Amino acid sequence: MDFVTLLAFAAVSFVGIATPGPTVLLALTNGSRHGLRAVAGMIGAVLSDFVLIGAVAIGLGALLAASEFWFSMLKWAGAAYLAFLGIMLLRSKGTIDAALKSGAPAGATSPFSIGLKSFMVAATNPKGYLFFSAFLPQFIDPILPQATQYMLLALVFAALDFLIMFGYAFFGSQAVRFLKTSGAMWLERACGGALLALAGSLAFYRRATV
> What's the pLDDT at 161?
94
Helix axes 126-135, 68-91, angle to 10 degrees: 130
Pair 94, 33: CB distance under 8 Å? no
The rounded distance, in Å, linking the Cα atoms of 8 and 34 is: 34
> What's the pLDDT at 61?
64
Pair 182, 188: CB distance under 8 Å? no
User: What's the pTM?
Assistant: 0.75
Residue among 33, 162, 9 nearest 97 (CA) = 33
Domains of the chain by residue range: 3-78+103-168
Helix axes 68-91, 111-123, angle to 10 degrees: 140
> How far does CA 179 lie from the centroid of its chain?
25
Residue among 180, 185, 134, 169 nearest 42 (CA) = 169
Chain segment 153-181, per-residue pLDDT in tens:
999 999 999 999 999 888 877 776 665 55
Chain segment 45-64, per-residue pLDDT in tens:
999 999 999 988 888 766 76
